[in-house]
Amino acid sequence: MIILLLLLAALVVVGIVLAVAVIKWLFILAVVAALCWIILFFVRRTA
C-alpha cells in the first residue's frame, strides 16, 4: 500500500513539473506570436 502511495506521489510531482514546462512554453509562444502580429501591423500600416 505504501508503494502505491509513493508511486502516486511521484506521478503527481511529474505531472506538476510537466504542466509548468508546458505553460512556460505556451507563454513564450504567445509572446512571440504577439510580437509578430505587432510587427506585421506596423509594416502593413506604413506600406
Q: Report how many domains make up the chain.
A: 1
Q: Tell whether 12 is covered by a domain.
A: no
pLDDT number for residue 20: 93
For the full predicted model, state whether its pTM sits above 0.75. Answer: no
Q: Tell whether 11 is covered by a domain.
A: no
> Is pLDDT above 80 for 47?
no
Query: DSSP label at 1?
Result: -
Q: Which domain holds residue 43?
A: 23-47
pLDDT tens for each residue of 22-37: 999 999 999 999 999 9
**Residue ranges with strand state E in the chain:** none
Q: Tell whether 8 is covered by a domain.
A: no
3-state secondary structure of 47: coil
Q: What is the CA radius of gyration of the chain?
A: 20
Question: What are the start-end ranges of the H helices in the chain?
Answer: 2-46
